[in-house]
């Protein structure tokens, strides 16, 4: 079974621009979560989607948004990019995400650099 | 709120020696604990998880973890380290479907 895929793998943007990242979950998985990884803050939860609805949200500004499509694929968008948004953005999928015992399986990430 | 701590930023081990990567947790209710590994320029790979039952959990690549309720710890172990085990290791606790991660421990295994 194919794993979680993320595109693109690398992105370079300038301050003020916006960016869209894409995530395709493991086949049959319906929950998708997004995380930001930076050297200073570590791994932080952004949000989680299930059945095209945002079910959980972390402490990030409104510039960070996401959505999920009917095929469970998800996108996240960051508007008005800031230098501090440079990070590795990781997507994870689970079957339902409704059980705390579910394992989250991660994609390879998208490395975003903001200049 | 749930949290985990990894007290060591770096662990150095000689190949063939046993390794331990430490993790302590603070949770209310039942702890659902996970270990992930990250190789350079890669995402996180799932190693193992503790839900309930046996305190010794066996996972991928020969790793295991010992859950200790009295010490609120969930240390990752391997009897014989390999150079290829060198990577960044993360302990995490599930909080309502979102993972709360420790700061990570860099494991270096030297030949």
Q: What is the pLDDT of residues B40-84, one digit of tens each?
A: 888 899 999 999 888 999 999 999 999 999 999 999 999 999 999
A48 and A56 Cβ atoms separated by less than 8 Å: yes
Angstrom CA distances, A26 to A12, A19, A57, stand at 27, 23, 21
* CA pair distance B2, A87, nearest whole angstrom: 24
| B49: contact with A, CB 8 A cutoff | yes
| A29: contact with B, CB 8 A cutoff | no
| A28: contact with B, CB 8 A cutoff | no
Q: Give the DSSP H/E element, type plus range, for residue A63.
A: none
Q: Residue holding tokens 């046993």?
A: B18
pLDDT along chain A (115 residues), means of 10: 92 98 96 96 95 93 97 97 98 80 93 98
Q: Which pLDDT score, from 0 to 100, does residue A29 have?
A: 93
The string of pLDDT tens digits covering residues A8-22 is: 999 999 999 999 999
Do the Cβ atoms of B96 and A100 come within 8 Å?
Answer: yes
* CA-based nearest residue in chain A for residue B33: A101
| A56: contact with B, CB 8 A cutoff | yes
């Amino acid at each position: 079974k194919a794993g979680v895929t993320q595109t693109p793998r690398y992105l370079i943007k300038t301050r003020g621009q916006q960016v869209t990242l894409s995530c395709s979950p493991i086949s049959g998985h319906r929950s998708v979560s997004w995380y930001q990884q930076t050297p200073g803050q570590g791994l932080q939860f952004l949000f989680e989607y299930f059945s095209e609805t945002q079910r959980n949200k972390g402490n990030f500004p409104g510039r960070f948004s996401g959505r999920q499509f009917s095929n469970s694929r998800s996108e996240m968008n960051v508007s008005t990019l800031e230098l501090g948004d440079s990070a590795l953005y990781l997507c994870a999928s689970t079957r339902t995400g409704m059980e705390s015992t579910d394992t989250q399986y991660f994609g390879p990430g998208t490395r975003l650099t903001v200049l | 709120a749930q949290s985990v701590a990894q007290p060591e930023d770096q662990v150095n081990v000689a190949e063939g020696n046993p390794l331990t990567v430490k993790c302590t947790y603070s949770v209310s209710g039942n702890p659902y604990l996970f270990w992930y590994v990250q190789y350079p320029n890669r995402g996180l790979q799932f190693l193992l998880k503790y839900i309930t039952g046996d305190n010794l959990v066996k996972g991928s690549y020969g790793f295991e973890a010992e859950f200790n309720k009295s010490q609120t710890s969930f240390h990752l172990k391997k009897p014989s380290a390999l150079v290829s085990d060198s990577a960044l290791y993360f302990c995490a606790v599930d909080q309502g479907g979102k993972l709360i991660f420790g700061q990570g421990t860099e494991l270096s295994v030297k030949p």
